[in-house]
Structure 1
Amino acid sequence: MSSPPVPCLCLRDARDQRLGTAVREAADHAESALTRMMSFQGSPLPDLDTAHAADPTWGLPLLMQAGHWLSLDEATHLPRALALLDQAAPLCAEAPPREQAHLVALRAVAEGRWQQACRLWDELLLEHPRDALALQWAHHWDLCLGDTLSLRLRPARSLPEWDESDPLFPHMLGLYAFGLEENNLYPQAEDVGRRAVGASPSAPWAVHAVAHALDMQGRFEDGTAWLRQHQPRWAEDNVFAAHLWWHMALFRLEALDLPGVHRLMDAHLTGPATPTLAQRLDAASLLWRMHLLGEDVGARFVQLLHEAAVPPEEAGHWAFNDVHLMLAYLGAGELVQAEGWLARCAARAMQPEEARRSNHAVAREVGLPVMRGLLALACGEAEQALATLQAVRPMVRRLGGSHVQRDLVDQTLMAAAAQVPHAPVGRALLNERLMAKPATPLTRRWAERLRLSLS
């Protein structure tokens, strides 16, 4: 006589999704870590360590740690993430299919197959539309891929399945608001983002989405006021703080309040305030914009380059980072180091074993040409810079990042055009800006540099 089946003792999370643990303490700490991951409030790692200690047989806390390290987009964190995935793999053998799917998707991310990972998360979300991890992680790598359509459509497919009383719901709205903004639906993005912040002031991605919508409309004073209004919530112990200070600085730059930009740099965008590579690259992109306007920021670039301490394995990891690191070398006047950086990135992009990585074609077709154009401008070869950057400009979205981040390419093109007599691309780019948003002080400064009238 066979024994009766043992009932499953596994718990369910706050969204009624089966977990691979029967230990309440482990489940509660994993949920707390998830909230921190969505809100960027503090580090999720202590909660995940506690969850793993409470149930060492449960793989999900290890997967969440691996996803955390991978989402920092630094090659130096890859070994740690891979070790966590290896540790989690045997624990996931009998786990719910949802958790097994996360293992496979994160393994694809670690191997550089970002598009494959996003497809796996899309499949998972068809069955589990309330899987916040899948939504958060796919959103992140959509941004890395420049997949603007998925940034909007993926949360749109899932949001109607969510309970609006769920504490994570405002964060989901924030993801959707950002997707709307990246698809140029600015009024809708602003409405959704404000709704999310109204439901939870501690929803920094929603604050961020509204800031983007205001920036793209040229509403720099509204943007400054918006960030200041919500500053008490996002500026303390929040991983998003440095990036939102960067947005604040961009609003002040749009107003040509250069002393204000310097004050923000001193207080929030240098030294201990920017411990991660992504934060330092934000600082590099801001300094480059100031450099293009003729502001003397060479000493700041030198300090930034010293703080960044870029390891060799970073070259070619992600073309977006490669380009921004090139800005740091050029801004610091380190042309020999810039040429060496370009050579290391090119060497990796040409390796056959790199072909399966999502970054491979992007690096060769977009990242390397952009870096060559930047180097040409720094070397005084404005005509070459103009031709190179103009040719690659239609593909720049593939670098990843946002419209606001990639605008540095357009501003570099205008700086090159200002140095080339009778370059019609300068007027064309200025016309694009004027059709997209009102003439801001920054746009007027570019018109002056290009010797064009806005009347």
Structure 2
Amino acid sequence: MQTDLSTSRVSLDDKTALEHWNGVIHGVLCHGSATGDHLDALIARAPDFAMAHAMKGLACLMLGRRELISVAEEAKDTANAALAQGGATKRERLWCLALEDWLAGQPSRSIARMEEALRLNPADTISMKLSHGIRFMLGDHLGMLRSVERTIAAYDENHPLYGYALGCRAFALEEVGRYAEAEQTGRRGLDFARDDAWGLHAVAHVYDMTHLTGQGIALIDNFPDAWSHCNNFRFHVWWHKALLHLDKGEIDTVLDLYDTKIRNEKTDDYRDFSNASSLLVRLQLEGINVGDRWDELSALAKKRSDDGCLTFADMHYMLALMGDTSEAGAARLTKRVIAAAKTDDDVGCVMAMPGVSLSQGLEAFGEADYVGAFAHLSAAQTKFQVMGGSHAQRDVFERLTIEAGLRAGRLDETERLLKARTALRGHREDSFAATRMARISDLRSGDPLMTAAE
């Protein structure tokens, strides 16, 4: 047996196969565009390496696409057939069980498998990354930090993947609000892994959350090595840059980033879709005319909204369908979310809350029923976290809740939401909060212009 980049033993005897497996590990950690090529080459070279098939299946499930579930099922069957031949390590068997658990509707159990693998070797960076990634999709920010903190002592500067481990730690620290530590850790990680897009984006999150827009823009501009090699994750980095420019009121730059970077490639990957739809909503809430940019997103949303794999994805499809009263629009998606909420698995639990209330609230917002929208959105707001994603990504739903409250005249409740949002952001008031607090003040003073505008 040989040892891989994660300093763990693997049941690969072929040197070339090991090189491709290490390429997969590195590619997953840096979000590299060549990751899939390495995985295909590995499977062709070592078809009996069960862990490769488990990786393929898990990667399919992370894409949140209904049609890829059958591909993941096939990968599970192939992995189990490979395991039956014997010779697999315990870690490899645990990965195959993680795939089975997720296919059974229990990704939370998949996390437990990865954590068991980490007990075998705390410095197993790729198992840590998979635990980190699944927790991210489940909104388990506290678990992300606990997982990394349990293992980070196993690393030193000589570990080949030390920088990527720091990048994961930086993101977890940011998500629990420990911004200074997150910035320091993320920047140190980039010293060891300059191509770590996740670590760079963790620091960008810090600057977005703490209203340090200039520093965030400079970070992304000055570290092209961290995102230029990326798969579609580079679109997400550019999305962060657009958010920072939006906070500065630089609308022309935001629209240019949307057209030339964020949505230049019109994919139907839910992560790319969420970048686009959430940015357009933010622009519209600031009174910006986004032209016909919604057209292609709405068409895609109607095609993808039957997936029902992730509440996070469905709610971003809903952003493109708000105001669409056709049978293929918002009402249809809400009905599907209500049906999905009845399933007895991890997805059904999140669909039930916040999914149903959030979907109903977004539908009402699109119909200009702001009283109804605020009732539904505020009911879901305390559970937004369990949808997964980051604070920055979920903030579009926070903004819509606040905007609905303002338009419904629920000023006291809206002010409390704004203050809680600012407290989460290190008590730094960004441009969105500043303008909404000013609007509340004007409404309370009976400003006739504000009253007419509402």
419-428 or 325-334, which deviates more: 325-334
Assess, with a 3 A threshold, how the Cα gap between structure 1 residues 244 and 274 changes in structure 2: closer, same or farther: farther
182-191 or 327-336, which deviates more: 327-336
Q: Aligned partners of 1:439, 1:237: CA distance in 2, in Å?
A: 32
Q: Which SS does the other structure have where 1:250 is aligned?
A: helix
393-402 or 323-332, which deviates more: 323-332
1:323 matches 2:318: no
Partner deviation per Cα, 1:275-303 (whole Å, 9 max, x = no partner)? 52211121111111112222223621112
1:186 matches 2:179: yes
1:156-175 superposed matches below 5 A: 156-175=149-168
Specify every segment of 5 or more residues in structure 2 that has no aligned partner in the other structure, as ranges.
Answer: 445-454
1:243 matches 2:236: yes
Q: 1:163, CA displacement in angstroms?
A: 3.9
Q: 1:378, CA displacement in angstroms?
A: 1.3
Assess, with a 3 A threshold, how the Cα gap between structure 1 residues 301 and 364 changes in structure 2: closer, same or farther: same
1:386 matches 2:378: no
Q: 1:240, CA displacement in angstroms?
A: 1.6
Q: 1:47, CA displacement in angstroms?
A: 1.5
Q: For residue 434 of structure 2, what is the amino acid of its counterpart? A: R
Report the counterpart of residue 439 of structure 1 in structure 2: 429
Q: 1:174, CA displacement in angstroms?
A: 0.5
Q: 1:421, CA displacement in angstroms?
A: 2.8
Report the counterpart of residue 261 of structure 1 in structure 2: 254
Assess, with a 3 A threshold, how the Cα gap between structure 1 residues 234 and 312 changes in structure 2: closer, same or farther: closer
The counterpart of 2:189, out of the listed 193, 196, 201, is 196
Q: 1:73, CA displacement in angstroms?
A: 2.3
Report the counterpart of residue 46 of structure 2 in structure 1: 55
Report the counterpart of residue 420 of structure 1 in structure 2: 408
Q: Which SS does the other structure have where 1:296 is aligned?
A: coil
Report the counterpart of residue 360 of structure 1 in structure 2: 348
1:215 matches 2:208: yes
Report the counterpart of residue 113 of structure 1 in structure 2: 106
Q: For residue 330 of structure 2, what is the amino acid of its counterpart? A: A
Q: 1:116, CA displacement in angstroms?
A: 0.8
Q: 1:335, CA displacement in angstroms?
A: 8.0
122-131 or 177-186, which deviates more: 122-131
Partner deviation per Cα, 1:326-369 (whole Å, 9 max, x = no partner)? 0011166768611011112212222xxx30x2111111121110
Report the counterpart of residue 25 of structure 2 in structure 1: 34
Q: TM-score, normalised by structure 1?
A: 0.91
Report the counterpart of residue 75 of structure 1 in structure 2: 66
The counterpart of 1:346, out of the listed 330, 333, 338, is 338
Q: Aligned partners of 2:243, 2:122: CA distance in 1, in Å?
A: 35
Assess, with a 3 A threshold, how the Cα gap between structure 1 residues 185 and 27 changes in structure 2: closer, same or farther: same
Q: 1:434, CA displacement in angstroms?
A: 4.3
48-57 or 122-131, which deviates more: 48-57
Assess, with a 3 A threshold, how the Cα gap between structure 1 residues 162 and 439 changes in structure 2: closer, same or farther: closer
Q: Is the 8 A contact 2:136 2:390 kept in 1?
A: yes
Q: Is the 8 A contact 1:270 1:304 kept in 2?
A: no
Q: Is the 8 A contact 1:175 1:206 kept in 2?
A: yes
Q: Is the 8 A contact 2:277 2:319 kept in 1?
A: yes
Report the counterpart of residue 452 of structure 2 in structure 1: none
Identity %: 27
Q: Is the 8 A contact 1:256 1:442 kept in 2?
A: no
Q: 1:201, CA displacement in angstroms?
A: 1.3
Q: Is the 8 A contact 2:30 2:230 kept in 1?
A: no
Q: For residue 444 of structure 1, what is the amino acid of its counterpart? A: A
Report the counterpart of residue 365 of structure 2 in structure 1: 377
Q: Is the 8 A contact 1:242 1:273 kept in 2?
A: no
187-196 or 143-152, which deviates more: 143-152
Measured on the aligned residues, the alpha-carbon RMSD in Å equals 2.1
Report the counterpart of residue 411 of structure 1 in structure 2: 399
332-341 or 388-397, which deviates more: 332-341
Assess, with a 3 A threshold, how the Cα gap between structure 1 residues 378 and 40 changes in structure 2: closer, same or farther: same
1:293 matches 2:286: yes
Q: Aligned partners of 1:345, 1:442: CA distance in 2, in Å?
A: 30
Assess, with a 3 A threshold, how the Cα gap between structure 1 residues 309 and 379 changes in structure 2: closer, same or farther: closer
Q: Aligned partners of 1:36, 1:252: CA distance in 2, in Å?
A: 29
Report the counterpart of residue 16 of structure 2 in structure 1: 25
1:397 matches 2:388: no
The counterpart of 2:36, out of the listed 42, 45, 49, is 45
Q: For residue 123 of structure 2, what is the amino acid of its counterpart? A: R
Q: Is the 8 A contact 1:218 1:437 kept in 2?
A: no
Specify every segment of 5 or more residues in structure 1 that has no aligned partner in the other structure, as ranges.
Answer: 1-9
The counterpart of 1:130, out of the listed 106, 118, 123, is 123
Assess, with a 3 A threshold, how the Cα gap between structure 1 residues 427 and 155 changes in structure 2: closer, same or farther: same
Q: Aligned partners of 2:228, 2:267: CA distance in 1, in Å?
A: 13
Assess, with a 3 A threshold, how the Cα gap between structure 1 residues 202 and 323 changes in structure 2: closer, same or farther: same
Q: Aligned partners of 2:409, 2:7: CA distance in 1, in Å?
A: 65
Q: Is the 8 A contact 2:137 2:387 kept in 1?
A: yes
Q: Aligned partners of 1:336, 1:450: CA distance in 2, in Å?
A: 36
Q: Is the 8 A contact 1:13 1:31 kept in 2?
A: yes
Partner deviation per Cα, 1:57-98 (whole Å, 9 max, x = no partner)? 222222222222222222222111211111111112321111
